Amino acid sequence: MKPEQDRGRLFTRRAMILAGGQALMFTGLAARMYYLQVVESSHYRVLAEENRISLRLLPPPRGRILDRRGAPLATNAQNYRVVIVPEEAENIEQMLDRLDRLVQVPEHERRRIMREVRRRRAFVPVTVRENLSWEEVSRIEVNAPDLPGINIDVGETRSYPFDGAAAHVLGYVAAVSERDLTGDPLLELPGFRIGKTGIERQYDLQLRGKAGNAEVEVNALGRVIRELRRQEGQPGQNVHLTIDIGLQEFVAKRVGEERRAAVVVMDAHKGDVLAMVSVPSYDPNAFNEGLSGKEWNRLITNPDTPLTNKVIAGQYAPGSTFKIAVALAALEANIPPSFRTSCYGHVQLGNQKFHCWKKGGHGSVDMLDGIKLSCDVYFYELAKRVGIDRVSAMAKRLGMGQSLDLDIPGERNGLIPTRDWKLAAIGVPWQLGETLVAGIGQGYVLATPLQLAVMTARLVNGGFAVTPRLTLAPPGVDPADEPPHSFPPIGVADASRRLVIQGMVEVVNNPQGGTAFGSRITEKRFAMGGKTGTSQVRRISLAERDRGVRKNEDRPWRERDHALFVGFAPVDAPRYVVSVIVEHGGGGSKAAAPIARDVLLEAQRRDSSSVMPGRIAAAPPVDKGPAR
């Protein structure tokens, strides 16, 4: 009987232990469930919501770029694109074949589409073609029943209504590359565009704006079920340029027949760049639409460099336009304007001859004659007396040999040599013969067309160190609220400036030897002054001189001289300045001066310095220029 009782007690004890264990386990489970459902309920509710709700970025509209009168130069247009949803298409290749009968789908685009289809989820749309015309959209919509999985989507694209007329100023936008990624999530949105060159690049952050967002409900696979909330982004800021698009178009058309050229027009007092044209140009719309590899290679291998803004990045020997700086340096070194020298067609220095452009010479020449006739021998003599360092110092006061901090990327410094520069850069001392060559704007001297325009502006605006600009005011600031600009003086005596200005008036308006008389403006109130320039691109040997130097038109194009001209108008109250270079155009009086005449006449007739009412403060007092 006792063994039976012992077994019963043992069973009861084990049952109690088991029951206790179960009770403890259920108690722990209940406690855990209480903890999860009550204590941590808010935390897991958030996690569940985050799993169900997806926050997606919305790209903001890009800011517009406007000219000085408010005309849109870069804006946004509706972009109709056709997309394919792989899971809805019966057969992707077959759908693309059907679509190709309606709108062309090139083979390289097909390969891209198939790569994206393999990389993305089946319900995610893949862009097939962008920037469809309304006719193409209509064809697709009419045939929609036969195109399962093919849909039309509407977005925005950058549009440049003036095509290539202002391409080098505006630049272009294009897709984000890997090196452009900065951590900004906007840059990772499919199809997002950023500025790559020009104003588009310089003010990209301001033009870009701030992203909006949309809360969408998604399922476990990430498919969008519905949109719950939308907050639109902040549009990009508009940028107001100093450019007058009417004048810009006129200049682009006027020099469009040249193979390579650069023209810049400035307000001499405010520094506003009114027109900036580099030839050849390109269509910035093509970059936004997507260039093929072949088209891109054609652009970058073109020997005429259409992607380069020659106004700010072209570095040229300024030729006789540099004589403006040499003459000012001589006058400031107390060489009187009455100083004369005799030109017999060349000057001898040691065993070397330095020739004048006029083979028989100009005879006895003073400073006004030297400028008017562009006598090389006279400026050889001036440069020798003044010295290269003082000539260089004056050139730099006039804005050459340094960055002018124009608000656009790609500007180059040019080169204004000194004794110290040559010793440091080349390791040999400066030679006197190099001073003579520099005196006529050749040798080591290099300048950009923009620098030559600034040189002219600082001469005629009263002697103030005006700096060029392309924007009327910083983005987000109304130009009407911007205070007037003031510029420091360059430290050149008025008498010196006026003498050189008078010489430039003679260049254009004196029939007795003025090198640009044939390009004068005959309407007195619009009359211009200026200086021609011709810079050699190759050294002419002694043997070639003995045989007779061939005319420019008889040489291969690449061996012809560059043609230059700088000018201002009107002569009684200078307001506009222009700088023109025609690469391998021959003489400045023949190729560059006529362009400058037409451009300055158009600027004055248009009154291109004016802006939208209330857009900018009044200009500084006008320098009346030389007596006539």
Residues with catalytic roles: 320
Q: What is the DSSP string of 119-169?
A: HS-TTS-EEEE-S--HHHHHHHHHTGGG-TTEEEEEEEEEE-TTTTTTHHH
Q: How far apart, in whole angstroms, are the C-alpha atoms of residue 74 and residue 66?
A: 7
DSSP at 463: S
For the beta carbon of residue 537, count every other beta carbon within 10 angstroms: 14
Rounded Cα distance between 547 and 551, Å, is 12
Q: Tell the residue number behind the tokens 């001469």, with chain if given.
A: 459
* Upper half-sphere CA count for residue 85 (Cβ side, 13 Å): 12
398 and 466 Cβ atoms separated by less than 8 Å: no
Q: Is 535 helix (H, G, I), strand (E, B) or coil?
A: strand
Structure tokens at 327: 């003459």
Q: CB–CB of 382/330 below 8 Å? A: yes
Distance in angstroms (rounded) separating the CA atoms of residues 227 and 55: 10
Give the span between the Cα atoms of 562 and 259, in whole angstroms.
12
Phi-psi region of 151 (alpha: psi -120 to 50; beta: other; left: phi over 0): beta
Q: Are 555 and 310 in contact (CB under 8 A)?
A: no
- 293-323 in b/e form (b: 16+ CB < 10 A) is eeeeeeeeeeeebbbbbbbbbbbbbbbbbbb
CB neighbourhood size of 75 (10 A): 17
User: What count of other Cβ atoms lies within 10 Å of the Cβ of residue 220?
Assistant: 7
d(CA 507, CA 614): 38
Q: What share of the chain is helix, strand, coil (3-state, %, to 5)?
A: 40, 20, 40
Orientation angle between helical segments 92-100 and 107-119, nearest 10 degrees: 150
Four-CA torsion 587, 567, 375, 351, nearest 10 degrees: -70
Q: Phi and psi of 159, rounded to 5°? A: -130, 135
Closest by alpha carbon to 412, among 313, 311, 307? 313
Both tokens of residue 584? 């391998």
Q: Kindly give the interhelix angle for 323-332 and 449-460, rounded to the nearest 10 degrees.
A: 40
Q: Which 8-state DSSP code applies to residue 511?
A: T
Whether the CB-CB separation of 273 and 265 falls below 8 Å is answered with yes
CB 266 within 8 A of CB 273: yes
Residue 582 identity (one-letter amino acid) = V
Residue 555 and residue 136: Cα distance in Å, rounded?
51
Contacts of residue 458, Cβ cutoff 8 Å, sequence gap at least 6: 397, 398, 399, 464, 465, 466, 490
How far apart CA 175 and CA 46 sit, in angstroms, is: 36
Q: Are 578 and 600 in contact (CB under 8 A)?
A: yes
